[in-house]
Amino acid sequence: MELLKKNIHTEKIKSKAMLQLPMEEDINVSDAKPDVARIIYSSGDVKIEEIKMGMNKIWVKGQLCYQILYQAEGAEIGSAAGMEGGLPFMEEIYLERLEGQDRVVCCPQLEDMRVHIINSRKLSIQAVVSLEPCVEETVTEELCTELEGADGAGAGSDKLEYRKKFVDYLETEVKKRDLLRIHEEAKLAAGMPDIGEMVWKSLDIGSISFHAGDEKLVVTGELNVFIVYNEDNSGKANWYETTIPFSGNIECSNSREGMLADISYEIGHEEITVRDDADGEPRIIGVEAALELEIKIFSRESSPIVADVYGVSCEVNAQTAAKDFRNMLAELNIEEKLVRNIKLEETEPKLLQICHSDAKVEIEDTVFKEDGLTISGNITLQALYTSSDDAQGFYPIKETIPFEVVRQVEGIENAEVEQYSLYAQTGSPSITIKDSAQVEARITLNLHMIVYDTRQEDILTDLKIAPIDAAVLEKLPGFAIYYVKQGDSLWQIGKKYYVSVEQIKEINNLSSDEIKVGDKLLIVK
C-alpha cells in the first residue's frame, strides 16, 4: 500500500512583536540658515535602514527623517526658509522562536511628532515611533491525495475503504522583496515665477493599486508632489502642487492573472530636484523614488485529500497529524467619506487662500465581531494657507479627526480572525473656505483589507495494515439488521462491520449516501 502525496506551500506567522519608541532631541539651525521666527509646517517619516538578527532578538537601525518650514527672522517680507535632517535610532526587540534563516519584515509608523522653538537657533523635536517586526514563514506540507492498491486487486491482497474531502487553501506562488524605481518629471504651470531656492518639498503616494498578471506584478498609482520655493527674482515665497501618474511592472515568476496579491509598500529613497527647461529656465521638477515592496502572491486552491480509511479485509491503523491551512476569508475595499468643519482661533490670521493639504492615517484598533468588524483610528490633517491680514507668508492648520468604520462581513460570523492585512489611503483632502475663519475639510478614507482564515485539519501521514484479529472476526455477524440512529452515516456503519459503503448501498438498493433515523439496513459480511 502506497500513499500518493503532493506538496503544498502556505504561510504562517511564526513570531511578531511591537515596540513604541519615544524620541526627543534638540537640533541646531545650520549657520547657513536664517534665525527661526515661527514654525509654519513640519513633517516626519520613519526609514528602516538595517535589521540585524540574533538569537530570539533583532536590532532595528533607522532614522526619523524630519522636514521643517519656518518663517525667518529679519528676512524679506513673504519669504520662507526650511531645514531637514534625521534622528537616528538603534533598538533591540525580542522575537521568540527567531532562527538564522528567517526573514524579518518591520513596519514602522510615526504616531506623533511635534516641533517647538527653544530659541531662534535651536529647536526641539518630540516624537513617538512604533516598530512592528514580524516573521512569516513558508511552510511545506504533504497531503495524501490517493491510496495506491486500496482496491485489493490480486489474491491475498488487502481491501481498504477510504473517503476524500476537499481542503481549501492559499498556495504561495511568490514571496519576495523588490524595488519599483520611479522616474518622473513635471513642469511649472505657465505664468508661475521661476524657481530660485526650494525650501520645502514633499512626496506622497496619493493612490496605488496592485494587480497580479502573467509572470509580473502590475503597479499603478499617483504621486502627490508639493514644493515651496522662493522665487528666482523677487525672493518671495511661492508654491506649486501637482499629481503625477506612474506605473510599472515587477517580474514575478509563477504569477498569473486572477491570483491574490497582498502587497505592503513604503517609499525608500526619494528625491525632488529642480533643473532647467529647454529655454534654460529653472522650471522642471524631477522626481525620483524607490518604492520598496513586500510581495506575496497566492493562488486559491482546493485539493481532494484522503480524509479517513478503514479495512474491509484487514485491520487498519491510520496515523494522522493536525496541520494548519491558510485560506482567504474575505477581501474588502472600503470607502468612507469624512467631513469636518474647522474653526480658527481668534488670534490666528484670517483665511485668504488654501495652498496645500495632506492627511496621515493612523489605525488604532481593528475588532472582529459576530456581526462584522469595526476599524477605528485618527486622521491627522494639515493645511497651509495665506492670510489677508498681512504678507508674512504661510500659516498652518492642524486638526486630528477621529473615525470609526463599521462593516458587515459575510463569512466571519463563526470564524476567529487572527490574521489580516489592512492598508489605508486618503488621497488629497478637499479644503473649502467657508468664511475668513472657518474651513470645511472633506476626506475620503480608502481601506483595503484581506482577512485570512487559518483552519486545522487532520492529515493522513501513514498507514499500518494487519490481519483482522480472530476474536474480532468471531464477533462479526454474517448478516445483521441495523436500525439507523441519530448521527449515523453509511461510512460509520461500514467501518463498524468491516463492509464497504458501496456494498451496503447495493444490498439495500440505495442510490445515494443519505440515510435517516429509523431506516432499516441489511448488513451482509
pLDDT one-digit tens code per residue, 83-127? 999 999 999 999 988 887 888 999 999 988 999 999 999 999 999
Cα–Cα dist 26/123, whole Å: 6
In a domain, 1, yes or no: no
- 509 and 426 in one domain? no
In a domain, 144, yes or no: no
**Confidence category of residue 153, pLDDT binned at 50, 70, 90:** very low
- 168 and 131 in one domain? no
Residue 525 vs residue 501, higher pLDDT: 501
The CA radius of gyration of the chain, in Å to the nearest whole number, is 33
Which one-letter DSSP state was computed for residue 232?
Answer: T
Cα–Cα dist 397/418, whole Å: 38
Mean pLDDT of 499-514: 92
- pLDDT at 422 (0 to 100): 93
Residues paired with residue 348 on neighbouring β-strands, in sequence order:
none
Counted domains in the chain: 4
Mean pLDDT of 181-185: 94
Nearest residue to 432 (alpha-carbon basis) of 357, 499, 364, 372: 357
- pLDDT at 339 (0 to 100): 94
In a domain, 476, yes or no: yes
Cα–Cα dist 483/522, whole Å: 9
* Nine cell digits for residue 477: 455477524
Instruction: Report whether 498 contacts 525 (CB < 8 A).
Output: yes
- pLDDT at 156 (0 to 100): 36
- pLDDT at 321 (0 to 100): 87
Residue 275 corresponds to which amino acid? R
Which one-letter DSSP state was computed for residue 254?
Answer: T
* DSSP run (H or E) holding 495: helix 490-497
- 183 and 126 in one domain? no
Nearest residue to 294 (alpha-carbon basis) of 441, 180, 438: 180
Domain that holds residue 285: 149-313
Residues paired with residue 441 on neighbouring β-strands, in sequence order:
340, 431
In a domain, 6, yes or no: no
Instruction: Report whether 342 contacts 380 (CB < 8 A).
Output: no
Mean pLDDT of 295-307: 92
pLDDT digits (tens, 9 = 90+) for 307-349: 889 888 888 888 888 888 889 988 999 999 999 999 999 888 9
Cα–Cα dist 498/525, whole Å: 7
Q: What is the dihedral of CA 473, 476, 478, 481, to 10 degrees?
A: -170
Asked if residue 7 has pLDDT above 80, the reply is: yes
Cα–Cα dist 182/166, whole Å: 44
CATH code, domain with 485: 3.10.350.10
Asked if residue 55 has pLDDT above 80, the reply is: yes
Mean pLDDT of 208-227: 95
- 376 and 454 in one domain? yes
Instruction: Report whether 205 contacts 190 (CB < 8 A).
Output: no
- pLDDT at 76 (0 to 100): 62
Which one-letter DSSP state was computed for residue 236?
Answer: -
Asked if residue 155 has pLDDT above 70, the reply is: no
CB neighbours of residue 498 within 10 Å: 20
The full length of the chain comes to 525
- pLDDT at 439 (0 to 100): 95
* Nine cell digits for residue 167: 481542503
- 392 and 247 in one domain? no
Asked if residue 305 has pLDDT above 70, the reply is: yes
Mean pLDDT of 150-166: 65
Among 54-58, 143-147, 438-442, 464-468, top mean pLDDT goes to 438-442
- 47 and 84 in one domain? yes
Cα–Cα dist 516/484, whole Å: 7
Q: What is the dihedral of CA 15, 404, 451, 210, to 10 degrees?
A: -100
Residues paired with residue 114 on neighbouring β-strands, in sequence order:
126
Asked if residue 188 has pLDDT above 70, the reply is: yes
CB neighbours of residue 269 within 10 Å: 12
- 359 and 285 in one domain? no
In a domain, 9, yes or no: no
Mean pLDDT of 74-90: 83
Which one-letter DSSP state was computed for residue 172?
Answer: E
Residues paired with residue 521 on neighbouring β-strands, in sequence order:
482
In a domain, 505, yes or no: yes
- pLDDT at 250 (0 to 100): 96
- pLDDT at 237 (0 to 100): 86
- pLDDT at 75 (0 to 100): 60
- 108 and 156 in one domain? no
In a domain, 170, yes or no: yes
Query: What mean pLDDT value characterizes the chain?
Result: 89
- 156 and 70 in one domain? no
- pLDDT at 150 (0 to 100): 65
CB neighbours of residue 156 within 10 Å: 6
Cα–Cα dist 95/133, whole Å: 8
Asked if residue 157 has pLDDT above 50, the reply is: no
Of 99, 114, 136, the one marking the end of a domain is: 136
- 306 and 223 in one domain? yes
Cα–Cα dist 90/60, whole Å: 6
CB neighbours of residue 204 within 10 Å: 20
Residue 239, sorted as left (phi over 0), alpha (psi -120 to 50) or beta, turns out to be: beta
Among the listed ranges 22-36, 90-104, 115-129, 146-160, which one has the minimum average pLDDT value?
A: 146-160
pLDDT digits (tens, 9 = 90+) for 244-274: 999 999 999 999 999 999 999 999 889 999 9
Cα–Cα dist 186/357, whole Å: 19
Say what the pTM is.
Answer: 0.86
* Nine cell digits for residue 216: 509580473
Q: What is the dihedral of CA 29, 34, 35, 36, to 10 degrees?
A: -80
- 184 and 78 in one domain? no
Of 136, 164, 184, the one marking the end of a domain is: 136
For residue 367, CA distances in Å to 245, 337, 465 come to 35, 20, 49
Nearest residue to 374 (alpha-carbon basis) of 383, 382, 365: 365
Cα–Cα dist 332/334, whole Å: 6
Which one-letter DSSP state was computed for residue 256?
Answer: -
CA 290 to chain CA mean position, Å: 19
Nearest residue to 125 (alpha-carbon basis) of 135, 114, 136, 141: 114
Of 71, 103, 136, the one marking the end of a domain is: 136
- 498 and 444 in one domain? no
Asked if residue 370 has pLDDT above 90, the reply is: no
In a domain, 255, yes or no: yes
Asked if residue 216 has pLDDT above 90, the reply is: yes
